[in-house]
Structure 1
Amino acid sequence: MAINNKKSVLKQRLKHLMQWLLFLTIAIALAISLRLFLFAKFSIPTPSMEPAIKAGDQVIVSKLTPGARIITNFFSMKNSEEAQLKRTPGFAIKRNDVLIFNFPYSEWHRITIDMNLFYAKRCVAIPGDTFYIENGIYKVKHSIDTLGCYENQQHLSGRKESDFDPAVYHCFPHDEHYSWNIKNFGPLYIPQKEDDLSIDTRNIVLYKNLIEYETRKAISTKDEQVFMADSLITTYKFTKNYYFMAGDYVFDSKDSRYWGLLPEDHIVGKVAFVWNTKNKETGKVSWDRFLKRVN
């Protein structure tokens, strides 16, 4: 009888252990799924998005906009292969969404995707928009939306060129045919997937990096003509959507004004709210920013 009781107790304990292991496995799987498909946490190290996001903020990012990215060649990346990505269905990106994305220009002459380098900026123009800056104010053709931090743009409007270092004042595409700067920029058309654009030796400087990123073929010009590898091109149909990203602190932000357009596959998600902020001087939590929505 004592032996049977011991077997019964052991069996019961084993049952409880299996239940806890199952619960733990489900919890881990759920946590991983949430991290992969729904949410992520990021720390913001710079003030380029102030006042919406402050340096030191920890933010929660929703991957539902524009949908979670799945790396399809995860095990090949150890051989220095660039990540190949697919995206789950999600919500469309809108103007003024604050996004986390992989910086596209770790190498300035071409677009790459650095999976370890993240930026936070505001989307001020979406695919199909024509974006421009007029005396410091951000605008999209045929739209009355207020884009980004209007107050900072007003301050920019009142400043002179001499107030800025030339490297800060002058902008993309850094070409003699375009005298764009942080106060007067564009107009720049933002390509969307399936757009069939006319290409010439003037506008190719705006889209060269995008086309080379999509095709993995070199673009060159000769005798007022544009070539992709050895083939003459006069039009190009884009296969990806692109976005114009800008920091709210317009005086000090390494954004699309300097490096150009952001491919959609670089986007991680939309910043939803501030999770935690610590005061730099005291080290204490700034409770006034706890769960503050980012608009």
Structure 2
Amino acid sequence: MSVYVIIGPLFLLVLAGYWKLFEKAGRQGWEALIPVYQLYIMLKLTERPWWWLLLLVIPGINLILCIGILVDFIKSFGKVRVGQITMSILLPFIFIPKWGFDKSTQYIGPPGGDDFKNKYGKNRAKSATRELAEAVFFALLAACVIRGFFVEAYTIPSSSMESSLMVGDFLFVSKVHYGARLPITPLAFPFAHNAMPYTGARSYSDLIHLPYFRLPGLTDVKKGDVVVFNYPMDADSPFYRPIDKRDNYIKRCEGTPGDILKMEFGQVYINGNLIAAPLNAQMEYQVRTQQPGKVFDPDTRYKLHLEDIQRFTKVDYTLNTTAASAEKLRAYPNIKSLRPDIKLTGVYDPDVFPHNPRFRWNEDNFGPIIIPKKGWTVKLDSLTLSLYKRAISVYENNKLEVKGTDVFINGKKTDSYTFKLNYYWMMGDNRHNSEDSRFWGFVPEDHIVGKAVFVWMSWDAKAPSFNKIRWNRVFRLIN
């Protein structure tokens, strides 16, 4: 069953509650259904400045602001107790419709208004400062809870997922889907991941290190999911970061625990079955033009989303784009030929996992390789050790030693190992411009952060006009 079958009705319950509350406040109920405009009306009803809406484009601030607006809004209906405020934030699908349809709940007025002051405070001389402090406190507290256990905002900084996700996309990542991971490094500065803004100083202390634990989720990680996870290689020098403080990466899951993965000429096969490439996936193409000269003008580059254009001879180029854009470019009059720049089989790339010349793999031709599954036992030999030694020693915290032809794990000689964690294979949709599992291997389950669910804003810094917002991507579900 799709998680949207569960989330959809809950979302409709919240909207129904807002509809009734808007009507109680003398507004039209339909105004609660329009994104952003809904917040504007809530600001009017609480007598807060409209320009607060401009802060919605700032990641992190937008979440705190939305919670602050909600706190003010429910206060205007007399819901001022700590429990009421907390429940409206954590369980809005219960309490917002409950108050909306409850006849005893009525609109009192803005929290700073006389009616509100007369009913909820004898001495309100210092209420403005106190209410502001309370609003900020609840907003910060709720933002920490929501960010840690429900949903978190991210920005796409690089082109590794182009054109499925684009540089400048602002998206929400659900932690409910796979189950929220409890903090492993709890002593940390709020809203800073692993470094403080501007200074770059470390934002956490590793004096306390808690064991990995994940709350129950709505679903498992599935092939095709766009997943945010902690970068496994941050366990190494120079960072040696704890799991939850390793950099956040976003890729598409191509293989799940127990799968046999193989790549041939850029195509992914799972358990022997060809997996279709993502619809908007990009790759590198070789282009030969009819004659030298100006071939890719700025308008063509932007319209067809041509990236990383490099010229090798007077008529030969390479570039990154989607298959659809490549077909359009092929029809241009000065294009003589265009074909994917796919590496040949058997050509060894030392940058590709497992960095062993006995595996003559490259980014387009790879495997087969078995993705470890919890409870799976692998026989250890000179070949399998190259594939799984990092998972055994680094991710599962074992001391692994090889003495001649003998393998020792935690001081005991053995010829096999049973995995304690599930692992995943993550790849970027921009297949020739992505640092992913092909280069550093498996992603352990304790590194999984959440599922990318939708883009709420998209900003195109390269747009050739003043209209930098990609309106066709705003509030767009991620496939």
Name the aligned partner's letter for residue 223 of structure 1. G
Shift of 1:64: 1.6
Contact 2:261–2:368 (CA under 8 A) maintained in structure 1: yes
Describe the shift of the 1:108–1:237 C-alpha distance in structure 2 as closer, same or farther (beyond 3 A): same
Q: Give the structure with higher Rg (CA).
A: 2
Shift of 1:214: 4.3
Contact 2:422–2:444 (CA under 8 A) maintained in structure 1: yes
Give yes or no for the alignment of 1:230 onto 2:411.
yes
Partner of 1:13: 122
Partner of 1:86: 213
Describe the shift of the 1:52–1:82 C-alpha distance in structure 2 as closer, same or farther (beyond 3 A): farther
State how far apart, in whole Å, the 2-side matches of 1:69 and 1:195 are.
23
Q: Aligned to 1:280, which of 461, 466, 473? A: 461
Q: Aligned to 2:243, which of 73, 89, 113? A: 113
Contact 2:258–2:370 (CA under 8 A) maintained in structure 1: yes
Q: Which structure features the higher share of strand residues?
A: 1
Shift of 1:294: 1.2
Write the deviation string for residues 231-289 of structure 1: whole angstroms up to 9, x where unpaired. 21211111111000000000110000000000111111000011111120447322111
Partner of 2:478: 294
SS in 1 for 2:425: strand
Partner of 1:263: 444
Contact 2:254–2:425 (CA under 8 A) maintained in structure 1: yes
Describe the shift of the 1:173–1:242 C-alpha distance in structure 2 as closer, same or farther (beyond 3 A): same
SS in 2 for 1:208: helix
Any stretches of 5+ residues in structure 2 without a counterpart?
1-116, 189-203, 287-338
State how far apart, in whole Å, the 2-side matches of 1:160 and 1:73 are.
42
Name the aligned partner's letter for residue 52 of structure 1. S
Partner of 1:3: none
Partner of 2:315: none
Describe the shift of the 1:246–1:215 C-alpha distance in structure 2 as closer, same or farther (beyond 3 A): closer
Equivalences, count: 285
Greater shift, 228-237 or 180-189, is seen at 228-237
Write the deviation string for residues 37-68 of structure 1: whole angstroms up to 9, x where unpaired. 11000011101101110011111101122111
State how far apart, in whole Å, the 2-side matches of 1:258 and 1:243 are.
14
State how far apart, in whole Å, the 2-side matches of 1:216 and 1:279 are.
43
Partner of 1:46: 158
Shift of 1:166: 7.9
TM-score by length of 2: 0.53
Partner of 1:4: none
Describe the shift of the 1:75–1:45 C-alpha distance in structure 2 as closer, same or farther (beyond 3 A): closer
Partner of 2:390: 209
Contact 2:252–2:427 (CA under 8 A) maintained in structure 1: yes
Q: Which structure features the higher share of helix residues?
A: 2
Q: Aligned to 2:421, which of 231, 234, 240? A: 240
State how far apart, in whole Å, the 1-side matches of 2:468 and 2:353 are.
40
Equivalent residues in 2 for 1:141-152, closer than 5 Å? 141-148=271-278, 152=282
Contact 2:184–2:244 (CA under 8 A) maintained in structure 1: no
Contact 1:275–1:290 (CA under 8 A) maintained in structure 2: yes
Name the aligned partner's letter for residue 95 of structure 1. K
Equivalent residues in 2 for 1:162-181, closer than 5 Å? 171-181=352-362
Partner of 1:135: 265
State how far apart, in whole Å, the 2-side matches of 1:174 and 1:228 are.
22
SS in 2 for 1:99: strand
State how far apart, in whole Å, the 1-side matches of 2:390 and 2:224 are.
25
SS in 1 for 2:166: coil
State how far apart, in whole Å, the 2-side matches of 1:193 and 1:73 are.
24
State how far apart, in whole Å, the 1-side matches of 2:120 and 2:398 are.
65
Describe the shift of the 1:266–1:258 C-alpha distance in structure 2 as closer, same or farther (beyond 3 A): same
Contact 1:105–1:111 (CA under 8 A) maintained in structure 2: no
Query: RMSD of aligned C-alpha atoms?
Result: 3.5
SS in 2 for 1:123: strand
Give yes or no for the alignment of 1:75 onto 2:202.
no
State how far apart, in whole Å, the 1-side matches of 2:133 and 2:375 are.
47
Shift of 1:216: 2.4
Describe the shift of the 1:14–1:239 C-alpha distance in structure 2 as closer, same or farther (beyond 3 A): farther
Name the aligned partner's letter for residue 164 of structure 2. A
Contact 1:271–1:294 (CA under 8 A) maintained in structure 2: yes
Q: Aligned to 2:255, which of 109, 125, 130? A: 125
Contact 2:163–2:280 (CA under 8 A) maintained in structure 1: no
Describe the shift of the 1:92–1:292 C-alpha distance in structure 2 as closer, same or farther (beyond 3 A): same
Contact 1:275–1:291 (CA under 8 A) maintained in structure 2: yes
State how far apart, in whole Å, the 2-side matches of 1:9 and 1:268 are.
47
Contact 1:49–1:247 (CA under 8 A) maintained in structure 2: yes
| Bigger relative contact order (CA 8 A; separation at least 6) | 1
State how far apart, in whole Å, the 1-side matches of 2:148 and 2:250 are.
19
Contact 1:43–1:56 (CA under 8 A) maintained in structure 2: yes
Give yes or no for the alignment of 1:103 onto 2:212.
no
Name the aligned partner's letter for residue 352 of structure 2. C
Equivalent residues in 2 for 1:17-36, closer than 5 Å? 24=135, 29-36=141-148
Name the aligned partner's letter for residue 450 of structure 2. G
Contact 1:124–1:147 (CA under 8 A) maintained in structure 2: no
